[in-house]
């Protein structure tokens, strides 16, 4: 099992969810987050007082998938979240040791 | 037959009504209706108007405390006004002191009843003036937002009302030395000096005395919800018709002039502020627009019953630009933390208004001419009155701050400030 964490542009969330649904991935957790990578922030001015806002709003998608579906899932996210501009985000993949479904104690792939 | 009788009764009623309207012990019901309505409008300026305007500008952890600082004036000042405030403002004073502060003739509203004061009941006049006594201290709270103890605020404001506001009212409107027949007759129709300079300058002294918020100016302290500020500012604009037009104390032609001047001053100030902001900062902001409106409303306040509508356009436009510069340039240069710009809008806007009233006053409107009509003395008087108010408000505020500071301290603890005033002062969250 792998955990896929994708930080994407907030306005791309619906596209990504549709695309994941299309390949049968419909379990995920969504976070509203703020952050930045190479993308610089923007300037805000209140009554002449200037602020550099370098933490920008992003959405983080977290999905756990069985190991044989990782490439397909990551490609789907990358394709559907891409605009080609700086600030599109990143995808991180890591190992998951165990998973348990609380309702009936199913384990691992069956629990996903 | 019965129908005819009813018609006759209705007709009699119609004939009788206007007679009753003017003949009721010298009270004009139209005037009374307008001033009571205006009183409600002016109260609305504080809550929810100012509370929303200020509340939207602070960080989320302080919004309830900030709204509460405005709202509590609706209770505190009302009680003080009822017990002795109205008396110190409007009762006849005795001896040489009587030119600075009223006497005790109306303590506990003694002698203030339904009988006419002008063409309205004395109670109507009293309650209209009360609403000004509520919003004036509430305006100051913008200067020390996000760092003052609620308990200290209560004591400070009770003393400030007693020592600064009630005497100021007496000096300018209650027969004191800045009244029309006093030694230094100043033109202040609805409170440019009494309300805005006094509160704005006191605000500056408080911002300097209390010091900066933790993290100012390096930390980003952007407004948490400008939507609130927008609604608050628009409510202020509407309420200001009661503030200025109601100050005619009648529903007459002068009230109409003040009403129109209020609208024109605000409109021109919006354009003035946005113009200079667009040039200097690159974008015309919503917050800039509504702040400009308030600055224009402040500046046109003393002028509203003395100048013509075209003069108001000029006054508003100038106020929009000058207030912007005082906040974006002067404040930044000196680095004081007037958190929500109570001084920049009310102190500066009020001063612009007081001076320009001395310039643009028209005999045809309020009976007195200003600089443009060849009466430079009026400009001198208004400048002198503004200057005196600056000094009086600054010194008195400083002394009161010293006293309250010595008794109970002024600022919340560092931990409380970081946690936020909502939790630390009021035990609740928005």
Residue in chain B lying closest to A43 (CA): B281
Contact B338, B142 (CB under 8 A): yes
The structural domain count of chain B equals 1
Q: Residue B203 — very low, low, confident or very high, per pLDDT cuts 50/70/90?
A: very high
Whole-number Å distance between alpha carbons of B129 and B131: 5
Contact B332, A48 (CB under 8 A): yes
User: Would you state the pLDDT for residue B20?
Assistant: 42
User: Would you state the pLDDT for residue B4?
Assistant: 54
CB contact under 8 A, B220 and A51: yes
- Reply yes or no on whether the pLDDT at B311 is more than 90: yes
ipTM of this complex prediction, to 2 decimal places: 0.80
Chain B residues lying within 8 Å of A56, measured CB to CB: none
Judged by average pLDDT, the poorest of A67-71, B260-264, B301-305, B311-315 is: A67-71
Q: How much is the mean pLDDT over chain B?
A: 94
CB count, 10 Å around CB of B110? 12
Q: What CATH number has the domain bearing residue A52?
A: 3.30.70.120
Query: Looking at residues B143-148, what average pLDDT do you find?
Result: 96
In terms of residue numbers, what domain contains B90? 35-426
Residue in chain B lying closest to A52 (CA): B220
- Looking at the complex, does the CB of residue B220 fall below 8 Å from at least one CB of chain A? yes
User: Would you state the pLDDT for residue B181?
Assistant: 86
Query: Looking at residues B134-151, what average pLDDT do you find?
Result: 97
| Candidates B223, B282, B344; nearest CB to A46 | B223
User: Would you state the pLDDT for residue B174?
Assistant: 94
User: Would you state the pLDDT for residue A36?
Assistant: 84
pLDDT digits (tens, 9 = 90+) for B338-377: 999 999 999 999 999 999 999 999 999 999 999 999 999 9
Q: What CATH number has the domain bearing residue B166?
A: 1.10.3430.10
User: Would you state the pLDDT for residue B18?
Assistant: 45
Mapping DSSP to helix (H, G, I), strand (E, B) and coil, where does residue A93 land? strand
In terms of residue numbers, what domain contains A71? 2-111
User: Would you state the pLDDT for residue B3?
Assistant: 53
B13 within domain boundaries: no
Query: Looking at residues B398-413, what average pLDDT do you find?
Result: 98
B405 within domain boundaries: yes
| Candidates A48, A52, A53; nearest CB to B281 | A48
Scan residues 281-310 of B and list those with Cβ closer than 8 Å to A: 281-283, 285, 287-288, 291
pLDDT in tens, chain A (112 residues): 999 999 999 999 999 999 999 999 988 999 999 988 877 778 889 998 888 888 888 999 999 999 999 999 999 999 999 999 888 999 999 999 999 999 999 998 888 8
Chain A residues lying within 8 Å of B328, measured CB to CB: 47-49
The structural domain count of chain A equals 1
Chain A residues lying within 8 Å of B222, measured CB to CB: 44, 46, 51, 53
Query: Looking at residues B125-134, what average pLDDT do you find?
Result: 98
Chain B residues lying within 8 Å of A45, measured CB to CB: 281-283, 285
B12 within domain boundaries: no
The proportion of chain B whose per-residue pLDDT surpasses 90, expressed as a percent, equals 91
B48 within domain boundaries: yes
User: Would you state the pLDDT for residue B6?
Assistant: 52
B9 within domain boundaries: no
Say which residues have a Cβ less than 8 Å from residue B412's Cβ, sequence separation at least 6.
Answer: B147, B148, B149, B421, B424, B425
CB contact under 8 A, B287 and A47: yes
B17 within domain boundaries: no
CB contact under 8 A, B287 and A50: no
B107 within domain boundaries: yes
CB contact under 8 A, B281 and A50: yes
pLDDT digits (tens, 9 = 90+) for B7-37: 554 444 444 444 444 445 799 999 999 999 9
């Amino acid at each position: 099992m792998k955990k896929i964490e994708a930080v994407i542009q907030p306005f791309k969330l619906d596209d990504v969810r549709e695309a994941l649904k299309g390949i049968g991935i419909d379990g995920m957790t969504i976070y509203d987050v703020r952050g930045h990578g190479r993308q610089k922030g923007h300037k805000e001015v209140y009554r002449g007082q200037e602020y550099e806002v370098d933490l920008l709003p992003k959405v983080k998608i977290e999905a756990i998938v069985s190991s044989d579906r990782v490439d397909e899932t990551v490609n789907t996210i990358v394709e559907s979240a891409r605009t080609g501009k700086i600030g599109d985000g990143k995808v991180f993949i890591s190992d998951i040791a165990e998973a348990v479904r609380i309702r009936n104690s199913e384990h691992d792939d069956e629990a996903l | 037959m019965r129908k005819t009788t009813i018609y006759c009764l209705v007709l009699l009623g119609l004939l009788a009504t206007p007679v009753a309207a003017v003949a009721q012990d010298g009270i004009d019901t139209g005037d009374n209706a307008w001033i009571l309505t205006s009183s409600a409008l002016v109260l609305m300026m504080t809550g929810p108007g100012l509370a929303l305007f200020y509340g939207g500008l602070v960080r989320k952890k302080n919004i309830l405390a900030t709204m509460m600082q405005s709202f509590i004036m609706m209770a505190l000042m009302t009680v003080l006004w009822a017990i002795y405030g109205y008396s110190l403002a409007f009762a006849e004073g005795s001896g040489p002191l009587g030119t600075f502060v009223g006497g005790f003739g109306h303590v506990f509203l003694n002698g203030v009843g339904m009988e006419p004061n002008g063409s309205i009941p004395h109670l109507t006049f009293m309650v209209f003036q009360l609403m000004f006594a509520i919003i004036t201290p509430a305006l100051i709270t913008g200067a020390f937002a996000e760092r003052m103890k609620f308990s200290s605020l209560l004591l400070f404001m009770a003393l400030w009302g007693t020592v600064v506001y009630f005497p100021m009212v007496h000096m300018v409107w209650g027969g004191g030395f800045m009244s029309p027949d006093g030694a230094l007759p100043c033109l202040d129709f609805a409170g440019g000096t009494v309300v805005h300079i006094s509160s704005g300058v006191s605000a500056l002294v408080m911002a300097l005395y209390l010091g900066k918020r933790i993290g100012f100016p390096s930390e980003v302290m952007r407004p948490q919800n400008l939507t609130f500020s927008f609604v608050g500012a628009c409510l202020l604009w509407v309420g200001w018709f009661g503030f200025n037009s109601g100050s005619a104390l009648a529903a007459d032609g002068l009230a109409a002039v003040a009403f129109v001047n209020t609208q024109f001053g605000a409109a021109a100030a919006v354009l003035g502020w946005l113009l200079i902001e667009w040039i200097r900062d690159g974008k015309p902001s919503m917050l800039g627009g509504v702040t400009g409106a308030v600055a224009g409303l402040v500046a046109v306040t003393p002028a509203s019953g003395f100048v013509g509508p075209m003069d108001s356009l000029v006054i508003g436009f100038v106020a929009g630009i000058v207030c912007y510069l005082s906040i974006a340039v002067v404040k930044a240069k000196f680095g004081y933390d007037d958190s929500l710009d109570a001084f920049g809008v009310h102190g500066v806007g009020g001063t612009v208004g007081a001076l320009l009233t001395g310039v643009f006053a028209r005999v045809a409107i309020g009976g007195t001419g200003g600089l443009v009509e060849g009466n430079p003395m009026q400009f001198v008087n208004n400048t002198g009155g503004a200057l005196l108010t600056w000094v009086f408000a600054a010194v008195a505020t400083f002394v009161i701050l010293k006293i309250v500071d010595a008794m109970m301290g002024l600022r919340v603890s560092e931990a409380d400030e970081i946690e936020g005033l909502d939790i630390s002062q009021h035990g609740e969250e928005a």
